[in-house]
Amino acid sequence: MKLLRHGAPGAEKPGLLDADGVIRDLSGVIPDLAGEALSPDGLAKLAALDPDGLPMVSAATRLGPPVAGTRNFVAIGLNYADHAAESGAAVPKEPIVFLKSLNALAGPDDDVAIPPDSRKTDWEVELAIIIGTQAKRVSPEAALEHVAGYAICNDVSEREWQMERGGLWDKGKSADGFGPVGPWLVTSDEVPDPQDLAMWLEVDGRRMQDGSTRTMIFDVRTIVSYVSNFITLHPGDIITTGTPPGVGMGMKPPVYLKPGQVMRLGIEGLGVQRQKTVAG
């Protein structure tokens, strides 16, 4: 099942994508894709619906982040061995955890505004985990029971702010709109192996990243368990899990985004995002 939220920013309604690729409105069934709706029982009720009986939504409608009620937008750094190598960093012994501001959340095709004082805005295609039920100090063996599904995240990053301005990575990761998520939440039953998904990103039609979740250092179950030992995870929380090689920072010489460019990125089975960069 592919779940989504459609409409203007701040006024999104819940929906789903039917087997023919048509958006169907769920606002007459649930208030939003949040809380109980993301639990196993909630998802089972949505899966039992006949999409043909739901109102159709124009394909031209804007898509927002596919879940609501997010309390924690968690990110994992240097989680691909080949990306750590291109960054000149040692492979971490434990997951590197940081937070993205909730202000960074954006729809999958929203413009990405480059801040006026940014010199090193970069791209990162990532697999995002969507939490469905509360997870607090869960074991790796039980971790996937708390996952509602998966989505694409572009972990947009300002490298100077992240690496050269002191302090934590959060400041380089949290500008408004620096976390497009979607287009859909694809439920776990449609992603039998999250550790075997091809992923890619293009800038102006040039393939920059071409990788696979197979090269993750810490897998999904390990990440959910690990993070839940430090942060109680709630339905609608998002964990974005790191990026494969091909980021602008790793190129020689480095290449960064500027206004007027187009990013396209996708993960096998999870759809495609498209963002235009604009001056912030």
Residue 106: the pLDDT is 98
85 has a pLDDT exceeding 80: no
In whole angstroms, what is the distance from residue 151 CA to residue 130 CA?
Answer: 7
Q: Which two tokens stand for residue 264?
A: 């396209």
Furthest-apart CA atoms within the chain: distance in Å: 54
- How far apart are alpha carbons 274 and 265 in whole angstroms? 7
Q: What is the pLDDT of residues 250-262, one digit of tens each?
A: 999 999 999 999 9
pTM for the model: 0.97
Residue 136: predicted pLDDT = 98
**Mean of the per-residue pLDDT values of the chain:** 96
For the chain, domains (ranges, CATH) are: 67-279 (3.90.850.10)
Kindly state the average pLDDT of the residues 196-215: 97
Please measure the distance between the N-terminal and C-terminal CA atoms of the chain and give it in whole angstroms.
36
